Structure 1
Amino acid sequence: MYNYDDYDYALVRERVEQFRDQVARRLNGELTEEEFLPLRLQNGLYLQKHAYMLRVAIPYGVLSSHQLRTLAHIARTYDKGYGHFTTRQNIQFNWIQLEQAPDILDCLAAAQMHAIQTSGNCVRNVTTEAFAGVAADEIIDPRPLAELLRQWSTINPEFLFLPRKFKIAISSAEQDRAAIKVHDIGLHLYRDNSGEMLLRVYVGGGLGRTPIIGLAIKNDLPWRHLLSYVEAILRVYNRHGRRDNKYKARIKILVKALGIAAFAEEVEREWQAINNGPAEITEQEYQRIAASFTPPDYALLPAPDFEYSTQLSNNPDFSRWVTRSVVTHKTAGYAAVIISTKPGISAPPGDVTAEQMEVIAALAEQFGFGEVRVAHEQNLVLPDVRKADLFALWQALDLIGMATPNAGLLTDIIACPGGDYCSLANAKSIPIAQAIQQRFDDLDYLQGIGELSLNISGCMNACGHHHIGNIGILGVDKNGSEFYQVTLGGAQGNESCLGKVIGPAFSAAEMPDVIEKIITTYKNYREMDEPFIDLVQRIGIDPFKESLYQNSASPQQQPAEVLP
């Protein structure tokens, strides 16, 4: 993984001291809250319902064991003993005292981490998939280019005050696991017939109040021009993006207003003016960064492993966990392992305690190369585990309550913190997620349902990415009461699409029954092992609407969410 150089250290340390002075001036009254607001947001500090929330950047979701132990220390020392991993591969601490924030940033800096640009109208944390570098279907490791984007965009003065927040994701596998089509810029890295690295560039994607799937603006960008082309896009957006209405300020609104062809033409003109300039990535610079991502010293391992095969045959619980939690590795004898943060009623989705973080950090060293990944789905991943060690790893994870074999199943719920913490939320997310998990706690039943994503957001900001869940749940407010609107048919990946609102919203108490009726309808209509998303695309949402509304009392009417 990438290690800070002297420039990185200097930048992060100086930012800590700058913010320490800003906090001191806020505490002694020299700065008003209005003056302090943009300063704290630039350092990832939000003021929420009960306390400040600090969002820490985890670039492209990669952590060392040492860094994970640092996060555990912060959780125990400055928070209430846990952290919340997010869909943008970051971690949030929800109970921060303002006067302690500079000390936390100092602690992070010592571990080569920071909270810079995790908020504000700037380029946010660059993301990729959790299996980058190890996935069997990977074309090229995207992390060197993600790191180059991170360095280029961090405190880039031209793009610190954009019309609105800006998100970039990059992927390079046969299957997109980074949701690149719902980002402001999505990048797919591939090779042409001659072996040259090229990028397919998508723009104008995003969720929130107006969800839109991004469109391809360029299909064959040479990798050397990545930074200059992204710069051209950002310049066009900075110049024309709306600043009079924050709800219409994202680049997706600009792309939709101009049309993709006109937007592409303007970007191309801007790019031609700066192309082959100082932003061009040289081979030397690429190799300097790529050296941080060379494969670890893998052993030559037998395949198949007899002891591993025996354990699979003799232990059905272990076999079930392997089926859901073990991902094929590009190196024979190794596997990537998903560590579920979704145990059900015992913990909210994405929450991990300090004790669990410390155990996982140790397991990453014992069974891997001291590296942990954060997945878009809010789970953790150990990228390099010998198959012979999987049984021992499973036992160790079970002892800390993190061996739930539900990755990709209904209870692997993506959920934002919602109204329990967030001052922007219209409704709570966590109780709904846990009520559904409690209703569907039979692992055999879940396995019979098959692959199905369920995403929950507490408001239209869509931090839970409900639009691209096969089942999406959105918290809405009706005269001070919490209701939940349901969408069906969303999907991420190569065939990304937005779910459709099925009708009026439901009360919190109704939601487990609502999901059960949806699942029953699915089971009644599916053919053989047809996945849920395929069924919805085949028969539409009307049969689901009929099962949900035909015998119910008149539900509370809710304004439909804006869909393109």
Structure 2
Amino acid sequence: MYVYDEHDRQILAERVAQFRDQTDRALSGELSEDEFLPLRLQNGLYVQRFAPMLRICVPYGMMRSEQLRRLARVTRDYDKGYAHFTTRQNVQLNWPALEDVPDILSELAEVEMHANQTSGNCIRNTTTDQFSGVQTDEIVDPRPYCEIIRQWSTFHPEFAFLPRKFKIAVNASEHTDRAAIQVHDIGLQIVKNDAGELGFRVHVGGGLGRTPMVGPVVRDFLPELDLLTYLEAVIRVYNRYGRRDNKYKARIKILVKALTPEGFAEKVEAEWAHLKDSPSRLTSEAIARVQAYFTEPAYDTAANQGDQLAALRFENKAFDNWVTRNVDTHKVDGYAIVTLTMKATGTPPGDVSDRQLEQIADLADSYSFGEVRITHQQNVVLADVRQDQLFELWQAITPMGFATPNLDTLTDIICCPGGDYCALANAKSIPVAEAIQRRFDNLDFLYDLGKIDLNISGCMNACGHHHVGNIGVLGVDKKGEEFYQISLGGSSHHDATIGKILGPSFAQDDMPDVIEKIIDVFVKNRTDEEEFIDTYRRIGLDPFKERVYA
């Protein structure tokens, strides 16, 4: 994991002091709200429905145990005792007081955390697969490239005020995309060419919100050392041609569509011709320097206890269910990847208390070399668990509420905070998620249904990524009343697609019945090998529509 050097610490200390002065001037009336707005946004501070919201950056989703403990203390001392994990692998505080935010940022800086560029029209937190560095099928660990992009983009003077916010994601798995790269402004898939050289397939112009799009490929192979110069060319073209007269048409996806992917790529190539051999071009030494921070921990290959694990699974069905759902294969023999599910029924998806943050920190120290990863799905990963400690870990996390074996099932719902907190939301998200979880609370039935992505957003900003859920739920406002629109057939993986709207929206109380009808159609039409998305793609929207609106 990257560790700050003296330059990082100095920059962060100066930024905290700068924002403290800006906040003091805003509170005294010396700065107007319009003047303070861009300053607070680039320090992650929003004004929400009931209180300010502070978004804390978690680069590529990784945190050390000491950072979790500091977050716990901050939520306890300055908030209401809980935080929220977002779909961009960040952490949000929903109730901080404005006058306390500089103190919060100061406390976070002591453990190498910050809120820089977690909002505003700038390059946001770069995300990646939560299994990076430990999965069996990745071409190379993508985290060093995420860190390189972070260092390059932080406080980049040319990109501080882009037409709109800008998000980059990196993926290195050959078979799975857990980073949803095709629905980002720039998505980078690490690949190798026919000569075995490392590089990137570049997608540009993906995104959700009011105009959801899957990002087309603008370059099939970008050599590794050209990463930053090419990104700079892409964003320069966007900065020059992106619309600033209408925020709803200001995202790069609108520009790519207007120019066509081919026309946009031509402009990028022309701009890149001036940048390709500039000082921004990476060197092998620069990449190696960052890669050196992401060393493997001291694995003990004697941890392989396959026979013992098989016996424990045979003797304990609950443990077997958990291993099947929440434990993944590790690249090192004798180790496993464990996902702690934050989706126990009755718990708002992604919410975590100060006590739970401390518990996760203790678990990280005891079982995973002191590190955790926050996931795009709002869960938590212990990436390096000894195989012979899995049963002990399961026993420890069960009373904590982290062992619900529903990962990747219908009740592992991605959900934004919605109208309970957000000033932009048209409707609540959390009660709908809970009602669906309670309706489908039978694990055997969930397992029979197989993998289903259900995503809920409280408004068209799509923080819950509803467009790419196999089943998507969008909160809409009808004359002051909360209703919910359904879409089907979305996917955020290598086969990325935008879901199609089913039809007219539904009242909140109807939502569990609507989802049940959708599931009924799936069950009656699927083959033995099909997941929900496969059946939908084979039979189309009409059978679901006929059943739901019958």
For this structure pair, what is the TM-score category when the shorter chain's length is used for normalisation? over 0.9
Question: How far 1:304 moved relative to its partner?
Answer: 4.7
Cα deviation for residue 303 of structure 1 reads 4.2
Q: Say whether the 8 Å CA contact 2:372–2:382 is kept in structure 1.
A: yes
Counterpart AA for 1:112: E
* Alignment-derived partner of residue 241 in structure 1: 242
The residue aligned with 1:465 is 465
- Post-superposition offset of 1:202: 0.4
1:534 matched to 2:539 = no
Q: Aligned equivalents of 2:277 and 2:396: distance in 1?
A: 52
C-alpha separation in 2, matches of 1:101 and 1:297: 38
Structure 2 residue 229 is matched with structure 1 residue 228: yes
Q: 1:41 maps to which residue? A: 41
Percent identical pairs in the alignment equals: 58
Please state whether the residue corresponding to 1:220 is helix, strand or coil. Answer: strand
Which runs of structure 2 are paired with 1:15-164 in the superposition (5 Å)? 15-164=15-164
Question: Where do residues 400-419 of structure 1 align in structure 2 (5 Å cutoff)?
Answer: 400-419=400-419
Alignment partner of 1:55: what SS?
Answer: strand
Partner of 2:345: 344
Alignment of 1:79-478 (within 5 A): 79-174=79-174, 175-301=176-302, 303-345=304-346, 347-478=347-478
Q: Secondary structure at the match of 2:474?
A: strand
Which amino acid in the other structure matches residue 279 of structure 2? Answer: P
Q: Secondary structure at the match of 1:292?
A: coil
Q: CA deviation at 1:301?
A: 2.5
State the alpha-carbon separation in 2 of the partners of residues 176 and 520 from structure 1: 28
SS at match of 2:509: helix
- Provide the C-alpha distance between the structure 2 equivalents of 1:161 and 1:399, rounded to a whole number of angstroms: 47
Residue type of the partner of 2:414? I
Cα offset, 1:308, TM superposition: 1.7
Deviations 1:308-333 (A, max 9, x none): 22211101000001111001111111
Q: Deviation at 1:334?
A: 0.6
What SS is found at the alignment partner of 1:423?
Answer: coil
Give me the whole-angstrom Cα distance separating, in 2, the residues matched to 1:8 and 1:302.
Answer: 37
- Unmatched 5+ residue regions in structure 1? 551-564
Aligned residue identity for 2:255: L
State the 1:530 CA deviation: 1.4
| Paired letter, 1:105 | L
Deviations 1:217-252 (A, max 9, x none): 111111111000000000000000000000000000
Aligned-pair CA distance for 1:476: 0.3
Provide the residue aligned with 2:512 in structure 1: 512
Q: Say which SS state the counterpart of residue 484 (structure 1) adopts.
A: strand
Deviation at 1:34, TM superposition (A): 1.5
Segments of 5+ residues of structure 2 without an aligned counterpart are none
- TM-score, normalization by structure 2: 0.99
State the shift of 1:302 in Å. 5.7
Measure the CA separation in 1 of the matches of 2:309 and 2:238: 53
2:489 corresponds to: 489
CA distance in 1, matches of 2:262, 2:544: 38
Asked if 1:480 corresponds to 2:480, the answer is: yes
Letter in 2 for 1:212: M
| TM-score, scaled to structure 1 | 0.96
Deviations 1:59-99 (A, max 9, x none): 00011111111111111111111110001000000001001
The 1-side partners of 2:533 and 2:36 are apart by 46
Q: Which amino acid aligns with 2:492?
A: Q
Q: CA deviation at 1:154?
A: 0.2
Q: CA RMSD in A?
A: 0.8
Which letter does structure 1 place at the counterpart of 2:225? R
How far 1:196 sits from its partner (Å)?
1.7
Q: Give the match's secondary structure for 1:385.
A: strand
